[in-house]
Structure 1
């Protein structure tokens, strides 16, 4: 039996269904992966080259696995670095040198052409000094840049830099470098060997809010630079969307069938729908859903939580005069129509996955 979708609401439902299927499929074909045991977990916006398709990552976030299965990030103008850790919530990555001489790499570091920039950046003065008893000054030499007849030091303290250049005649100023350090900005460092990781961050794609809310950021298959935030559990594979998708499909078919019968376009028989087994999904009852408080947004679109400006069900930003509904247990807001439909199908908050309490039966 062929159905003709002539009603706007049924078409919208069909598009939502297709969108959800694409999101679930994206989660299935792009699982988390690692180069080896104890290495950082790789997922969107990063992808491992030659192991995952381009749609699994955002442009500029390619990762490779080294000869010892270490995780490698290659910067366009600075070469390869070992990835020590990735914080997807904060959108931060820690990198270091493969040859254990990060200071040498810092001298030629160029982050242009990459999506990354330093989170904490600080100026350091480098000095080349003839051998002297530096231990009594509390200095920490850069061993991999030093030799038998000279020692290299780095300091961010202008006072101590002046002392090295003028108080110790055997020290010569090399150059000033701007370093994306791992410590808070403007902290005065007497001496460092740059052995700690470089701490970088990125602005696009903005996946931090999605990740911190329990979702997993993903790119559309048709355009990996367009980002969506499927509301799936941390270790889900997308399969728990299937009961909801199936139920939405049944509702769509039934609605279109009723509309066509009223217009005389289809016979009265509803056998196609009746032969499909019914999927039972445990949702909330109508009385419980109706008891949740509603909010009508004003022009300021101000909500109790300032970051809640997007409905995580339909992924659309809230607009003035729209009606929102709040789940009382967790205070998460959604479009009223979106959350009502969701809770009829599943008795969990789309964001935190907590199960709202049901109203006691009447008369109890």
Structure 2
């Protein structure tokens, strides 16, 4: 590990601990990056942390903390739907707009997808759906859809401010057939962004919860005679206070006040509304802010260089299975959505992987 920061998120009250504590009692679908599971599992089974030019062993309390968190997560997902994203959550938009022209880049996405289900089953001992893709902020265009489906995704989580229904006076069911056997699962933009920003102050979080509940009621009253499946896909990495506000809102919908919970897999399979838009927006409509934060072409060239060097090196190894999979996993991490807004850190990481 580069550092021991993950431990702080696993501690009682930490971000990841709070996600499990809150989520275990809520009717939610667990959408998981398998790399997180692999990383925490490595911690639980003995790990080392970079220390200057060397490294030191992780402490026993931290190993126990990691094992406890995995045990709690395993209990939380029992009987629930689990969606496994491709390993390390690759940035599909960056790959579509800047990476696919670099030879081998799509192969990394395919290998990341292949790792997803087996990692979840190995660590959590539950099956998972591996045919979902989730572009950053649900923003899509034809090239993103093509890249997502090229690796086996048949359901792409989009958002209603990308695939729009401007001609409708109501919110339609989320599932939209877009051709080729693929389905866009269009989450509601207002509900999905309701808990962004500062949720630490009580008045702010309370207002967000009230607005969330009011919006779900308004959607219901648009067509009260029609049952519709509405998907909420919030931010990938909510803070503790954001997660707490989201949990309060979901609890507020309990007792079947005007909604009933449904899992993401069932929502994706719901009968589509024939009036709903199935048009994927053009590349020119992709948000400039998101495009500006994408991984550069040089990032994918670095991945290719590392992959080529690995291919040359593995022929002299007596046990390539001890070297090749970890380096390939590191290359997958270079393509992660988590590097958005962290250009310098991403570049340093790629250099570190090459140096290994």
TM range (shorter): under 0.3
TM-score of the superposition, structure 1-length normalised? Answer: 0.21
More strand by share: 1
TM-score of the superposition, structure 2-length normalised? Answer: 0.22
More helix by share: 2
Higher Cα Rg: structure 1 or 2? 1
